[in-house]
Amino acid sequence: MEKETLYKRLGGYDNLAAVANDLLARLMSDSLLSRFWENRGDDGINREKQLLIDFLCASSGGPLTYVGRDMLTTHKGMGIDEKDWASFINHLNGTLDHFQVPEQEKSEVLGFIDSLKNEIVE
C-alpha cells in the first residue's frame, strides 16, 4: 500500500494556505522579524504569500510547482542571523500547534524547513 504524501496528510492546498497565512501574519508582527516586511507593498506581500503556499505544497509532495527563486538567492543579503532563524522556527511551531498538526507531520515539515537553514542564515 502506498503511503499518502505529506501534502495529503496535512489536508491539501486549503490547509497549507491557512498555515501560510497564519505564519506570515506571525512573522510580520514579530518585532525582531518585522524589518523584513518594512517598505513592502500589499502586492509584494501577496506575491510572497502565494510563493510560500506554492513552496509548502511542492515541498510536501503536492501537485503544485514552486516557481520562485531558490532559497539562497531569495535570502542573500537580508542579514538573517541565528536569532532570526530561531524566532522563525518558534513561529512555525506556533502555527503548526495552532492547526493541531500531528507530531509525525510536524516533524516532517520542520525537517524540510530545517534543511534550508544553511541557504537562508548568513
Does residue 46 belong to any structural domain of this protein? Answer: yes
CATH number for 56: 1.10.490.10
So what's the pLDDT on residue 1?
59
> What's the pLDDT at 19?
98
Domain count for the chain, please give it: 1
**For residue 87, what are the domain limits?**
9-120
85 in a domain, yes or no? yes
Q: How wide is the angle at C-alpha 22 spanned by C-alphas 81 and 8, nearest 5°?
A: 105
Q: Is residue 116 part of a domain?
A: yes
Answer whether residue 4 is part of any domain. Answer: no
**Residue 64 confidence (pLDDT):** 92
Is 75 a member of any domain?
yes
Q: What is the DSSP string of 45-62?
A: HHHHHHHHHHHHHHHTT-
In a domain, 36, yes or no: yes
Is residue 110 domain-resident?
yes
Mean per-residue pLDDT, 64-73: 94
Is 53 inside a domain boundary?
A: yes
